[in-house]
Structure 1
Amino acid sequence: MEFIEIICSFLPFSVIRINMFRKVFLYFAIFQSFLLAASFSEDQTAENKNFILGTWISSLETQGTKTSNLDLVVTLDEKNRLISRCSLKEHGIKDLPLDLVLTKNSLRFENESLGLHFDGCFNELKNEITGTFYQNENNHTLTLKKRSKLFRPQEPKAPYPYRVENIQYENTFAKVTLAGTLTCPLTDKKCPAVLLIAGSGPNDRDETVFGHKPFFLLADYLTRNGIVVLRVDKRGVASSTGHYESATGLDFADDVQAGVEYLKNRSEVNSKQIGLIGHSEGGLIAPMVASKSKDVAFIILMAGPAITGEELLYEQTQAILQAKGVGLSEREMQRNLQEKLFSIIKEEDDPRIAEIELRKVLERYLNEFPNEKRNALRVIYETQIDRINSNWFRYFLTYDPKTALKQIKIPFLALNGELDLQVSSKQNLPLIAKALKKACNKDYQVIEFPKVNHLFQTALTGSIEEYSQIEETLSPLVLKTISDWICERFKASSETSK
């Protein structure tokens, strides 16, 4: 979802090292996050897969230390195959692949190349799996417990006072079919419309994260207030075709433009009143599209950046580590490592050569650790190299959003939360305003919401750990602000939101 994925790419470097300085040996728990993209043995039927579906929490006990809060979410894809996503929030790690084999009474997952696997058995109620986790020569007790459904009181419930349609449209240039949901007010009048643009990561149309569905809620609220809303699975995700892993910000911008073209041809939509709402990285893409298209009538950024990806990563990593109580010297070490890695990506265009250089830097870093810790850390770093050497990351690292922002003259609303540790409101909102002023934009507004985090939840600290713990999906004030801003500028059949 959003820039969480990129923060997580670098948090392990510092978190593990800091724990070692403090003699807190929690790094074994990190290996459990290799539970993301599980495959499934073909002899299993849909019926006996059902008990594994849902959210599981693991606790790894080693040397008297228990580390928990590892969430494993298991679902079925459209071909009835198991898909799992894992988040270890304390260590900021996710999206690491593992093969999974499920039988009636047991579960095995493994990553042969990294030398790790787990063998466990279900209890009689099938709500707990107990077994042994192996990492090379080490083995530890691991327990996975099924968690009851998260309470998300704002999630919309049918019947809806508007029309819902599952749709598809083409990005003909990329030969990609994008699938999404269109919600339309029950009126014969043409309505303003918005296309929702998700943040970084393989997001579905609801921008599902930690059991929350913020785009589902936002679409519901706006449609109740007379606005057509289109929300879409990213290319290569869920029901959309294409390849997510090889796409860059430019590719996602092309997909958004295809969505604008689709809305222009819908009879329910006023083609002169089509806007973009982008969250996090989506807030980077929206101005890219609008700066090149005369069909976009307005923009709303939700935690959109105004600085390069490199600057953003430095800032957000430091903010998150400081919020965790990490000292200045450790934070400086983290910054130094990031600078070395980023320099390689910026200076070496050949990914094969860059990979060699990245490995050299990380190997020098690893040499500072004892042998038994070095091997454990190497497993983690292997997963980071491909991520920071990807096409997406290379583009994200150097692209400056101000290039597009300085060209935007259409109505513009920039929102951010005071407690956003991923896209700092203090750093980015003034730069957005400055760029729009330079563009001679006569209708722009920037708003910082107090006590609101990166997901626009009312929060206490803004930490990533809070995201799943907070029951609120989106602040009611944020929802009202967005809806009112659109309705004030464009004719919409407003209805009191339920």
Structure 2
Amino acid sequence: MIVGIGLWPAMALGQTNTPTRPDSAAQRPAAAGMPGPAGIWKGPLSIPGGALPVQISVIQPAANKLIATLDLPAKRLNKVPASLTLRGDTLIFYAATVDCRFVCRQAGEAGQELRGMWTQPGLRVPLVLHRADLGSVSTASVEKTVAVKATTYHTEVVSLTSQPDNVALAGTLSIPDGAGPFPAAVLLSDMGSQDRDSRQGSYRFFADIAAALARQGIAVLRLDDRGVGQSGGNGTQATTANLVHDAEAGLSYLRVRPSIDPARTGLIGHGEGGNVALLAAAQPVPPGFVVALAASGLVGLDLLASQAEPLSAADTARIGEARRQAWAEVMAKAAKLRTSGSNSAQVETYVAQQRLKIKSEERKQAEATLKFRRTMLEIVRQTASNDQAQAIVVNMLRQRYPNQDPALARARATDLLTPWYRYYLKFDPQASLADVQCPVLLLNGTDDAEVNAATNLTALEKGLKGNKRVSVRRLPGLNHWFQMPAAELIPTDDGTVDPVIAPVLLTTVRDWVLQQGSK
């Protein structure tokens, strides 16, 4: 099942219909002998493992106006508004609220088919819809589906100052079109220096969240971290506690804007940003809500020790080559066994035994790495002198990775001794959780290799047990960056898969935020 379809929510219903643009089908005559696009179009949408029925309804209430809606009956999605644009003889349907597009042409006898390509995050497949009887659908019934919620938004460049450090921060505000007042959120990034889009290669985590929420009537402010992009300051010199001031500066900026509802203005934090949001929620003037995406529930040293050891590209390549060589030797021995007269069962038993042996060795190596990281980080935590700690760490790294460039070992030791790192090694997220009383949504992907969902969500739930407005969800198959599993994506021509944000994350966050303050 494609996640984007399976998890489109009922909240998408009743959004404002977007009228056709000036170059729309309503403005141009249909081809000779071919009726226009008004009508009901139905057909099966192919997805991995099956198909879903799709219906697009096009109504023409006036000579120069068309209104289109999308229905997915199997998913209980009805009258989802869609824009309809004509470019030449090509029709383009776009449902902004669910981020899907159908680019097609009228075809078949008397134009009774729409043939084209359906695209949405993670899915791009051909689609053919057939014209059905318009039946009892009327202009009046369509007009009743028009609601007042925003489906379009605009962006604004933002500059603000974080006190008391007087740090200039720059970012982007994505805000729904209209008067508001809208609920709003400030996005807070994970550890490390991130730009306002929280960019990882071609993946733009925060930009995708901002666009999705703004389409649904939620304003979103995302900022360059200190020392990144157009923001001032130095991120390595700022501790997790310092970053709370940046979050509060973003909240203050949003709360004074006339189009923002200050009572429904909160924080959405990823990784360390989730912990920053929870720290801000324990302050005298808390946010209206907190969404913590893969936040830590463990002491900083425990979390960092459990993560993978950062290696150079050369070290990673050597490890990969060693793994491939070991398996090649197994396959070569298996081939020899076959030529020497061993039967297939004996060969399969040998290969299975060697596979278990290799996995056991990899497990031992992982345990040794965990022990090494914990020892190294404990030395940093306990050694007050930077010079002394650096000498010890560099020596440890050189012993463990003798082929590594010595400059990389020194750079790694320098990173471990920054104010941020020293603070985070001692940081205990449990200390302030009892003071958090605003609504909280905790989310983790079950395949998160950096912040284990079971361990960290359990710890956060325990710390927040006095708060009766906490919701917790584990999202199956998602990693630390909440990307759709690669197996559910369509590969590109070269066989690679471009990372796509999981729709279940967007819909979960959106639905929950829209519920806050609505009662």
Compute the TM-score of the two structures, normalised by the length of structure 2.
Answer: 0.58
Partners of 1:340 and 1:361 within 8 A in 2: no
Instruction: For 1:338 and 1:390, locate their aligned partners in 2 and report how far apart those are by CA, in whole Å.
Output: 17
1:444 and 2:470 aligned: yes
After superposition, residues 303-342 of structure 1 pair within 5 angstroms as 303-317=294-308, 327-342=362-377
Give the 3 Å change call, closer, same or farther, for CA 243–427 of structure 1 in structure 2: same
Match of 1:435 in 2: 463
Instruction: For 2:446 and 2:210, locate their aligned partners in 1 and report how far apart those are by CA, in whole Å.
Output: 24
- Cα deviations across residues 9-49 of structure 1 (Å, max 9, x unaligned)? xxxxxxxxxxxxxxxxxxxxxxxxxxxxxxxxxxxxxxxxx
AA partner of residue 274 (structure 1): T
Match of 1:350 in 2: 385
Instruction: For 1:222 and 1:243, locate their aligned partners in 2 and report how far apart those are by CA, in whole Å.
Output: 30
RMSD: 2.9
Partners of 2:280 and 2:286 within 8 A in 1: no
The Cα shift of 1:331 comes to 2.2
Match of 1:416 in 2: 444
Match of 1:485 in 2: 512
Match of 1:272 in 2: 263
Instruction: For 1:402 and 1:218, locate their aligned partners in 2 and report how far apart those are by CA, in whole Å.
Output: 27
Match of 1:245 in 2: 236
Instruction: For 2:218 and 2:518, locate their aligned partners in 1 and report how far apart those are by CA, in whole Å.
Output: 9
Which one of 496, 500, 503 corresponds to residue 473 of structure 1? 500
AA partner of residue 236 (structure 2): E
AA partner of residue 487 (structure 1): L
Partners of 1:299 and 1:412 within 8 A in 2: yes
1:256 and 2:247 aligned: yes
Partners of 2:263 and 2:517 within 8 A in 1: no
AA partner of residue 445 (structure 1): S
Which one of 215, 218, 230 corresponds to residue 227 of structure 1? 218
- Cα deviations across residues 324-364 of structure 1 (Å, max 9, x unaligned)? 95623322321232232112211112212221232343455
Match of 2:409 in 1: 381
Give the 3 Å change call, closer, same or farther, for CA 469–237 of structure 1 in structure 2: farther
Larger radius of gyration: 2
Unaligned segments of structure 1, at least 5 residues: 1-151, 463-467, 493-498
Match of 2:454 in 1: 426
Give the 3 Å change call, closer, same or farther, for CA 286–313 of structure 1 in structure 2: same
Give the 3 Å change call, closer, same or farther, for CA 363–162 of structure 1 in structure 2: closer
Instruction: For 1:459 and 1:164, locate their aligned partners in 2 and report how far apart those are by CA, in whole Å.
Output: 30
Partners of 1:166 and 1:181 within 8 A in 2: yes
After superposition, residues 19-38 of structure 1 pair within 5 angstroms as none
SS in 2 for 1:266: coil
Partners of 2:305 and 2:377 within 8 A in 1: no
- Cα deviations across residues 157-181 of structure 1 (Å, max 9, x unaligned)? xxx8212110101113212110011
Which one of 400, 418, 421 corresponds to residue 393 of structure 1? 421
Give the 3 Å change call, closer, same or farther, for CA 389–469 of structure 1 in structure 2: farther
SS in 2 for 1:273: strand
The Cα shift of 1:195 comes to 0.3
Which one of 158, 164, 167 corresponds to residue 176 of structure 1? 167
SS in 2 for 1:428: helix
Partners of 1:162 and 1:183 within 8 A in 2: yes
Which one of 180, 190, 193 corresponds to residue 202 of structure 1? 193
Give the 3 Å change call, closer, same or farther, for CA 460–316 of structure 1 in structure 2: farther
After superposition, residues 205-216 of structure 1 pair within 5 angstroms as 205-216=196-207
The Cα shift of 1:470 comes to 4.0
SS in 1 for 2:481: coil
- Cα deviations across residues 126-174 of structure 1 (Å, max 9, x unaligned)? xxxxxxxxxxxxxxxxxxxxxxxxxx9759xxxx821211010111321
Partners of 2:270 and 2:295 within 8 A in 1: yes
Give the 3 Å change call, closer, same or farther, for CA 461–454 of structure 1 in structure 2: farther
AA partner of residue 346 (structure 1): R
The Cα shift of 1:472 comes to 4.1
AA partner of residue 506 (structure 2): L
AA partner of residue 411 (structure 1): P
Give the 3 Å change call, closer, same or farther, for CA 189–203 of structure 1 in structure 2: same
Match of 2:152 in 1: 161
Aligned residues: 323
The Cα shift of 1:247 comes to 1.8
Partners of 1:271 and 1:295 within 8 A in 2: no
Partners of 1:249 and 1:285 within 8 A in 2: yes
Instruction: For 1:330 and 1:410, locate their aligned partners in 2 and report how far apart those are by CA, in whole Å.
Output: 43
Instruction: For 1:413 and 1:201, locate their aligned partners in 2 and report how far apart those are by CA, in whole Å.
Output: 23
User: Which aligned runs of 4 or more in structure 1 are off by greater than 6 angstroms?
Assistant: 320-324
- Cα deviations across residues 358-385 of structure 1 (Å, max 9, x unaligned)? 234345546xx5xxx3xx4434312211
Give the 3 Å change call, closer, same or farther, for CA 312–429 of structure 1 in structure 2: same
Unaligned segments of structure 2, at least 5 residues: 1-118, 123-150, 324-358, 489-494
AA partner of residue 206 (structure 1): D
Instruction: For 2:270 and 2:392, locate their aligned partners in 1 and report how far apart those are by CA, in whole Å.
Output: 34
Instruction: For 1:249 and 1:469, locate their aligned partners in 2 and report how far apart those are by CA, in whole Å.
Output: 36
Give the 3 Å change call, closer, same or farther, for CA 478–345 of structure 1 in structure 2: same
Over the matched positions of the two proteins, sequence identity in percent amounts to 28
Give the 3 Å change call, closer, same or farther, for CA 210–452 of structure 1 in structure 2: same
Partners of 1:419 and 1:461 within 8 A in 2: no
